[in-house]
Structure 1
Amino acid sequence: MDIECPYCEKLVDYNFGDPLIQTDHWIVFLAPNQSNLATCVVALKRQHRTLSGLKEDEWQDFIDLLESMEKAVREAFDATLFNWGCLMNTFYLENTLEPHLHWHFIPRYNHPVQFAGHTFEDPHFGYMRPRPAKNISKEVRGKIEDKIREFL
């Protein structure tokens, strides 16, 4: 997908994943780690570090995006619930990129999901426990992206 915005070239350096969709103020990337099927990163399309200082139209655009993403992933993969996190900690370690406001969109499943020859399981459903990365091929990530877009 061809994504254009004044800030998008810089976002490539952050390795948020594969561009999926964009709105007026946000860009959604399918995360490289798919230990939870359809995990995405949602980044602001301008340089900003914190939630404070977001403009009213950016908040409204985010709310609309949140609703459409949750609906699409629920319909595409039967997700049970969704965790949203704005976790900026690693930006403040030494030798990291400049902090950039983004959200982690993490669908959670109380059942296994079969998709594109893979079984996606959420063995710690209901808990926030670290999981090993489930890195899948670019081809399978493309199928996940297409399935999400189908319901947007």
Structure 2
Amino acid sequence: MHRNATYETFGGDRTLVCDYAHWSVQVRPKQVTLGALVILAHTDAVAFSDLPVEAFAELATVVKDVEAVCASTFANTKVNYLMLMMVDPHVHFHVLPRYDAPVMFEGTPYSDPGWPGQPNLAVSEGLPAAARVANRLRSAWPKRQV
């Protein structure tokens, strides 16, 4: 499977949750909110419009899986998607589960410091390591044939 450089920027295989034909879902190494993810296109495209039509079609499945698994695993209130591609140029979305109250993960409560406003992208201290979050999400993710 083709991997672009942005895949390694976001932790590579250590943070990989699920591969699809055109996308990967990875746990964001710097958790902004509990369960923060990255949906990354497998191509070298740096413009959303350069993706193949099949990638757009598959994105619907990826987003449904992301939202269902985050809801069942973390009981988040909302999900925010950011597509900035300023530092890491390949097509990707940051996925931020949002919480209106503290949520428990492995016996520790975590809050969303930006709620109900914009997510606070500068905060990642005190949140669990990406590998721990990835392990939890991998076990909950629907099994897909790539």
Q: TM-score range by the shorter chain?
A: 0.7 to 0.9
1:96 maps to what in 2? none
Q: Report the equivalent of 1:94.
A: none
For the pair 1:143 / 2:140, whether they are aligned, the reply is no
Identify the residue that residue 134 of structure 1 maps to in structure 2: 125
Deviation at 1:133, TM superposition (A): 1.7
* Deviation of the 1:50 alpha carbon: 1.0
Greater Rg by CA:
1
**TM-score after normalising by structure 2:** 0.82
Partner of 1:76: 73
Show the 5 A alignment for 1:21-100.
21-91=18-88, 99-100=89-90
Query: Which residue does the alignment assign to 1:7?
Result: 3
Q: Is the 1:83–1:108 contact (alpha carbons within 8 Å) kept by the matching residues of 2? A: yes
Partners of 1:148 and 1:23 lie apart in 2 by 15
Quote the Cα distance in structure 2 between the aligned partners of 1:133 and 1:127: 17
1:16 aligns with 2:10: yes
Corresponding residue SS for 2:87: helix
In structure 2, the partner of 1:95 is: none
Taking structure 1 as reference, are residues 104 and 12 closer, same or farther at Cα in structure 2, changes over 3 Å only? closer
- Say whether the 8 Å CA contact 2:113–2:119 is kept in structure 1: no
Identity %: 23
Structure 1: unaligned runs, 5 residues or longer: 92-98
Distance change (3 Å), C-alpha of 1:129 and 1:84: closer
Contact 1:83 1:106 in 2 (8 A): yes
Q: CA–CA distance in 2 between the matches of 1:137 and 1:38?
A: 9
* Residues matched between the structures, number: 137
Give the gaps of 5 or more residues in structure 2.
142-146
Deviation at 1:111, TM superposition (A): 1.0
Counterpart-to-counterpart distance in 2, 1:122 and 1:80: 11
Higher relative contact order (CA 8 A, sep 6+): 2
